[in-house]
Amino acid sequence: MLETQLSGGLTSQGGPLQPQISGWMADPLLNKGTAFTDRERDALGLRGLLPPRVFTLAEQVERSLAAVRRKSDALEKYIYLTNLQNRNEVLFYRLVVDHVEEMVPLIYTPTVGQACLEYGAIFQRSRGLFVTMKDKGRIADVLRLWPHQGVRLIVVTDGERILGLGDLGALGMGIPVGKLALYSACAGVHPYYTLPITLDVGTENPELLDGRYYIGLRQRRVRGAAYDAFIAEFIAAVREVFPQALLQWEDFGNANAFRLLHAYRRQLPSFNDDIQGTAGVALAGLLAALPLTGNSLRDQTVLFLGAGEAGTGIADLFVAAAVAEGMSEPEARRRCWFVDSKGLVVLSRAAQLAEHKLPYAHDYPEITSLAEAVAAIKPTALIGVSGTPATFTREIVTRMAQLNARPIIFALSNPTSKAECTAEQAYAWSEGRAIFASGSPFAPVTLGQRTFVPGQGNNIYIFPGVGLGVLACEAREVTDAMFLAAARTLARLVSPEDLAIGRVYPSLERIREVSLEIATAVATEAHDSGLARRPRPLDLAADIRSRMFEPNYREYA
């Protein structure tokens, strides 16, 4: 009898079994959830599909914040926020903007590292495009499947060097998704115009190739001519399908990052955040620290642990800044030293060095350890971009404090588990004299009668503003001069109050203001250098501000 009662119109082929949900609630950019007014519910056919009480956006934010705080760990909070973003983007971004210091570590570093490691296991809904080697010959067709027209901003990865975690293949999609969320929250780039892309060319990670929940191609990485042809087709497809797009390269391996940037940066507006964004934020920290050290940029000697794209990118921008202040380029390069996995980068190793290290291979005896290099080079600043944790030991930090009244110690590797030292270690081992910054956030540290608030030298301070400025003026190219302008602007925005508590970056609560200032500086540089395709407005900052996405609901009826 029960089977007979249920059989009418219910078939295994679908029909009435398929839920019909209003498009207004299915589209996260349109959905207001319980904030749809009574008039909207009647006009849009939503009556009865929602509980009767109408909530304000502020009330929804309060409820969502409470829900986040009830979650037991950071990954569970990340999953909740991801689901919220997929359901109601205005509410998601309002929550992040209003509680930025609490939310950013959950949607990006350090939590995004764990999220990427478990991306296959927690995967619920695709966000962005996975373009694979199987799509060779039809990449443009795949891009056209994206439902939003007129994409202006793409963040793309091939997953080979995700943060300090290595080759995560298709699991790296968490990075482009997270970066674009920061663009919208921190710089007001409308999410409609953003597109995260993962280029799946395989992985060398055996745990993933054998992994039960791995979501990518189960094959070794494609390299050489086949890889280059795939990238070339991808770039051509982007230019064809999204001709106004700015492209951000993200977390490519060292072997590809530099050459892809150099090969394509003039074919379409593009930059590599790991090289140029990291350079901008690190240089800004160095510039901001100068009032505390009491000397100038030309007085600095910088020793880098890690000679990959981040380290050499910082050095290149340091050299550009020093040259602009009157130093010769050879002299400026002489101020930058590197320790890689084999020891100090010196001229006698030139035959074995990658091309990007050669400008910093100095004529100096070989040294095998960081501690020996610190003792010999006597740096004023020690910058960690190695992805190797706990490498700034007590011995090294103590030695830096012996050499400098205010040693600059930046442990920039992400996520937190990869930091070269903690904030507490840097302050304790230097007797409170270190000027410290890290890639991932650390809590304030109390030492004696003083509390230090460590700055987060995170690219979030640079890339959103750079991207916003490039998009606002429609720059034909993203130049190193734009990143130098961004770094100087960021350093200028560090207040005396910030410096008084040991912080060489502004409070994250000011991030939209910071991004607007950087965007204005970048657009000014583009106009001054003849790279802007849009006419220069009378008030550049006001024009950019008027284009920034503000997460508030629209009236639909």
Cα 442 to Cα 440: distance, rounded to the nearest angstrom: 7
Whether 213 is catalytic is: no
Q: What letter would DSSP give residue 555?
A: P
Q: How many C-beta neighbours within 10 Å does residue 114 have?
A: 18
Structure tokens of 440? 């991932």
Q: Are 290 and 326 in contact (CB under 8 A)?
A: no
Q: Are 248 and 189 in contact (CB under 8 A)?
A: no
Residues facing 132 on adjacent strands:
200
Structure tokens of 436? 């410290």
Cα 168 to Cα 397: distance, rounded to the nearest angstrom: 32
Q: Which of 93, 108, 227, 427 is catalytic?
A: 108
Cα 522 to Cα 378: distance, rounded to the nearest angstrom: 35
Q: Are 441 and 110 in contact (CB under 8 A)?
A: yes
Q: In this structure, are strands 302-305 and 336-340 parallel, antiparallel, or unpaired? A: parallel
H helix intervals, 337-431: 370-377, 394-403, 423-429
- Cβ-in-10-Å burial (0-12, 13-18, 19+) of 542 comes to exposed
Percent of the chain that is helix, strand, coil (3-state, to 5)? 50, 10, 35
Whether 119 is catalytic is: no
Segment holding 187, helix H or strand E: helix 174-187
Q: Which of 32, 179, 357, 418 is catalytic?
A: 179
Closest CA to 332 of 354, 358, 359, 306: 359
Closest CA to 112 of 70, 78, 154, 151: 78
Length of the chain: 557
Closest CA to 166 of 271, 250, 251: 251
The residues, any chain, with a CB within 8 Å of residue 43's CB and separated by 6 or more, are 556, 557
H helix intervals, 57-138: 57-70, 74-87, 89-98, 100-107, 111-117, 119-122
Residues assigned a catalytic role: 108, 179
